[in-house]
Structure 1
């Protein structure tokens, strides 16, 4: 992670023949992108699949095949800017971060080969199913504890009442720091999203920078506490043990950065992915009713939800050399944004992509977790959480329906999930399906 950002203007020779058309009206921070990322870029997939966005300075890649190419081609594209701010920070914001001695180090998500290959191999055991699956009991019990708090009410905001805390609690358990304050961690992680992937106002930028600095300081405190233990738990504990064997590969700054990135990745994306899935299912009540009747359908529903309404809608790279993508030359040094949410609606790969179809034969071809050497290591944990959440909500609240509402989203390039999700149900049958029935 870095607070430096390099602007790359688009040379005339690199522009597509359609440049100057619909792309001039497009924005990642206003308009339809937050509500419907794929729909807002349908013009690009059809006519200008790789275009230069003047507002951000990024080359935008929108088709499935091209997104996979950028993800896979580590010889031509660097991951180094993955956690750099999309909007270059002001001097004042930099000074705030300086007060916290903010000094992150490349970790799994933003390291390049051959270092990435080595640290991925060393971290991979923590993410293997045999180490993730034992969390299922904790996930299920905690889910029911939260549902118990509102099941008799007949209505809820599933973000505030369930999904604000639940994935964060699971993330902290997985990381090995279950005693951290959930509200504080969640708010600081939100500051990270806003600062790194948003376009905040000057006032909001300074507030987000302060939150990011506090997040960094919290990471340092957690690392120091766990380093005092002979056998520290969780993923952070695992990296501390790796540090003892490979001190040059895993300095303290790596551990501290990993607390921030790991916390944010392990809960922010799952909160949003589950919320998006619930919105999609409740907008398609026949599909919701189907999984209420037959929970064995849930794994395939999860895959289609990840394709249809995933939480990570874009990711970033930097071109190491002039490279052709989708018939366009992206120049050396250019910043690249692969829009996953658009790729998952590519009509050349998915028939009738706007339709929500859990029986779609190739829904597993989505790129919700990326592709290639950087494919998300945490995908098994995310799928497990989403499956358990849906199993328990369909079991206990089968009559749940969406309340009238307008969904609001944080304006940013890469993460999408509603700020509120209001639902209601008939109390009597819901209460009859208590957690003791599990």
Structure 2
């Protein structure tokens, strides 16, 4: 077998880590915990890092018979898999994790559904050639153009709820703003937002969920409609591809590089882009507010010192990011640590677990906004397939947090609420997030000028000085020694 050792595993080469009844594809017995693992059950859905703690400690690479995937949980291993996309191909990243019923397949055919390669699931050299061709819209200078619109949207949506005293942040703000920004970024008219929300949820369930046979048909209907909607928008753009927007830029680029930016690629990217550009940011923002409001001292630190916001956002992405897992397939016989992985093996790599690995992050279960290596998190992936939109997501989350800590520092979670999630392996954020506040304490009632004092941040990953800890220096004066005879 090929020799590609990873640093994250602890058992000896060629040695099966556990014993059990089922047998993995490499011939090793499957441990009882590995046999029981099910990412669609509540433990993983509610808290992926905690659900994989046993794996990080005991069995960092295990075969899941319920999934038919190898599961990888440690930081070093996950990072190396991301890095080595020759041996660990992303080709299955958008493959449906639950086999689709014939009825659902027939439904998708009626809509001529033909989702193909996108930047997420494409191998080299095609992937990097297309990535380079379409990268311009993601440069820091280009992203800067979206900042005023995002600040204005955030203020507008906050104005709507500021005197209400209670709100569901997901329904009333954190879903619509990222979707509006995504449509603006892509160059799509801001229409049918409710329909697009339904479509994007259906796409998530269709690709990473476990819908029942009956549910699959309804999901397929929504996905088919989504596919046709994306095609219609694309055709309308072709008539006039001038102006801003990533998809319009891609259409113009197609004239220069028709063999790189193909028709089928544009259609697939139109649909995938609508989801990728907003759903993950919406979930990440909801996770961030929940996490910070559950850790009151941290929230108050940020309210007192807004310069902490960039690192706070990054730490929330590490601690509870919206992307929990990705998938890869082994292109050859290989190893992860000392676990033999046969060619053709499918891998579920749990970045949410890797982000809580104490081999890389000190006290990983503490929310530490002063952490000096929090940008090492793998929520955006790593290597050639690292998320192209990571800096747009950072910008949105920072603007949200800046606005709320300035205008509603007294914000708190509504107690005893139950958080629910769309069941799937890879993307997570609460479907609803209820918060409340005393309107009488709104700072702008006492100081209207606070509305204009908007703090801005450099676009990109936070700089080292953004995580500087406050230090108190206490003067100590020694007492004179007294000698006795």
- TM norm structure 2: 0.86
Residue 260 of structure 2: aligned partner: 249
Deviations 1:240-294 (A, max 9, x none): 1121122222222211111111111110000000100111100001111111111
Deviation at 1:46, TM superposition (A): 0.8
Q: Are the structure 2 counterparts of residues 23 and 219 from structure 1 closer, same or farther at C-alpha, using a change threshold of 3 Å? A: same
Distance 2:243 2:91 in 1: 29
Residue 414 of structure 1: aligned partner: 426
Whether the aligned pair in 1 keeps the contact of 2:129 and 2:260 (CA below 8 Å) is no
Candidates 182, 193, 196, aligned match of 2:207:
196
Distance 2:270 2:282 in 1: 18
1:362 aligns with 2:404: no
Whether the aligned pair in 2 keeps the contact of 1:15 and 1:52 (CA below 8 Å) is no
Candidates 436, 442, 447, aligned match of 1:424:
436
Distance 2:394 2:96 in 1: 28
Distance 1:389 1:259 in 2: 26
Distance 1:15 1:182 in 2: 50
Q: CA RMSD in A?
A: 1.5
Residue 67 of structure 1: aligned partner: 78
Candidates 234, 238, 247, aligned match of 2:249:
238
1:128 aligns with 2:139: yes
Q: Secondary structure at the match of 1:337?
A: strand
Distance 2:28 2:380 in 1: 28
Residue 296 of structure 2: aligned partner: 285
Distance 1:302 1:436 in 2: 22
Deviation at 1:59, TM superposition (A): 0.7
Distance 2:27 2:232 in 1: 48
Deviations 1:41-69 (A, max 9, x none): 00111111111111111111100010011
Deviation at 1:11, TM superposition (A): 6.1
Residue 452 of structure 2: aligned partner: 437
1:302 aligns with 2:293: no
Whether the aligned pair in 2 keeps the contact of 1:78 and 1:318 (CA below 8 Å) is yes
Candidates 43, 52, 55, aligned match of 2:66:
55
Distance 2:269 2:38 in 1: 31
Whether the aligned pair in 2 keeps the contact of 1:16 and 1:328 (CA below 8 Å) is no
With 250-259 and 121-130 compared, the bigger mean Cα shift is at: 250-259
Deviation at 1:232, TM superposition (A): 4.7
Residue 17 of structure 2: aligned partner: none
Whether the aligned pair in 1 keeps the contact of 2:186 and 2:248 (CA below 8 Å) is yes
Candidates 141, 144, 156, aligned match of 2:152:
141
Deviation at 1:14, TM superposition (A): 2.2
Candidates 100, 105, 110, aligned match of 1:94:
105
Distance 1:332 1:13 in 2: 10
Deviation at 1:21, TM superposition (A): 2.0
Query: Where do 1:9-408 residues align within 5 Å?
Result: 12=24, 14=26, 19-404=30-415, 405-408=417-420
Distance 1:23 1:200 in 2: 23
Q: Stretches of 4+ moved more than 6 A in 1?
A: none
Distance 2:109 2:256 in 1: 30
Whether the aligned pair in 2 keeps the contact of 1:78 and 1:112 (CA below 8 Å) is yes
Query: Larger C-alpha radius of gyration, 1 or 2?
Result: 2
Mark the runs of 5 or more structure 2 residues left unpaired by the alignment: 1-21, 454-485
Q: How many equivalent residue pairs?
A: 428
Q: Secondary structure at the match of 1:32?
A: helix
Q: Are the structure 2 counterparts of residues 230 and 371 from structure 1 closer, same or farther at C-alpha, using a change threshold of 3 Å? A: closer
Whether the aligned pair in 1 keeps the contact of 2:25 and 2:342 (CA below 8 Å) is no
Whether the aligned pair in 2 keeps the contact of 1:52 and 1:58 (CA below 8 Å) is yes
Deviation at 1:13, TM superposition (A): 6.3
Distance 1:209 1:53 in 2: 27
Deviation at 1:16, TM superposition (A): 5.5
Mark the runs of 5 or more structure 1 residues left unpaired by the alignment: 1-9
Whether the aligned pair in 1 keeps the contact of 2:284 and 2:320 (CA below 8 Å) is yes
Distance 2:264 2:225 in 1: 15
Distance 2:279 2:159 in 1: 23
Q: Secondary structure at the match of 2:410?
A: coil
Deviation at 1:230, TM superposition (A): 4.5
Q: Secondary structure at the match of 1:33?
A: helix
Whether the aligned pair in 1 keeps the contact of 2:179 and 2:278 (CA below 8 Å) is yes
Whether the aligned pair in 1 keeps the contact of 2:83 and 2:382 (CA below 8 Å) is yes
Whether the aligned pair in 2 keeps the contact of 1:220 and 1:256 (CA below 8 Å) is yes
Task: Considering fraction of residues, name the structure with more helix.
Answer: 1
Distance 2:278 2:353 in 1: 23
Whether the aligned pair in 2 keeps the contact of 1:409 and 1:418 (CA below 8 Å) is yes
